[in-house]
Chain A
Amino acid sequence: EVQLQQSGPELVKPGASMKISCKASGYSFTGYTMNWVKQSHGKNLEWIGLINPYNGGTSYNQKFKGKATLTVDKSSSTAYMELLSLTSEDSAVYYCARNYSATGAMDYWGQGTSVTVSS
């Protein structure tokens, strides 16, 4: 069974950085690219970018360049997203989601990680 298990909720101070993890199981981790998606206010969905676990290649939404950094650890089948210089605008739920082959559809999603930026 394919599963994406994300790290728990975070409360962070403005200006800080933090990293979310997404541990994959039930499939070949290096065989599928991984997306990261932001959901704000319980509604708006934004694609942050994706990473190819096979070679570490990335593609970012221009809006999130400098804000998010995507990495993977192949040995533990885990994808990471680091969020930098956090502001209140970064308070949201963040999801990892597997790409379904070449279609760009996201067929499996993590449960989401809630990030709250507050002093």
Chain B
Amino acid sequence: DIVLTQSPASLAVSLGQRATISCKASQSVDYDGDSYMNWYQQKPGQPPKLLIYAASNLESGIPARFSGSGSGTDFTLNIHPVEEEDAATYYCQQSNEDPYTFGGGTKLEIK
């Protein structure tokens, strides 16, 4: 199985500043020119919400302050400028290979 390691496990970012979350895969999640890495936001009591698909594509309705980048085994989610409502846990997920796997999550606190 592909193991996804997220870092940091938690971070606190001041309002208006940048939050950067890393996701490293134990093997490449690229195939045929595409990177099968997705990012989700989850708030307490709610299901995960898709933010970014295929590494860098913004899901419809998601604010442009969210962006994703990376390829191969190294991926990044950026949030800039951070807003109060962005306080949540963020997960990466790979869909290149069965079984799909998720990272352990990064909890974002807004200062």
Contact = CB atoms under 8 A, between A and B. Distances in A.
Contact of B53 (A46, A49, A105): A105
Contacts of B36: 103-104
Contacts of B95: 103-105
A46 B59 contact: no
Nearest to A6: B47
Interface residues of B, number: 23
Interface in B94-111: 95-96, 98-102, 104-105
B59, B98, B100, B104 pick with most chain A CB within 10 angstroms: B100
A95 B49 CA distance: 12
Given A95-B47, A109-B47, A104 B96 contact: yes
B102 A109 contact: no
B89 interface: yes
Chain A interface: which size bin? 20 to 34
B47 A112 contact: yes
Contacts of A35: 100
B50 A105 contact: yes
A11 interface: no
Interface in B50-83: 50, 53-54, 59
A103 B100 contact: no
A47 B102 contact: yes
A59 interface: yes
A95 B50 CA distance: 14
Most buried by A among B48, B89, B101: B48
Nearest to A96: B47
Interface of B: 36, 38, 40, 44, 47-50, 53-54, 59, 89, 91, 93, 95-96, 98-102, 104-105
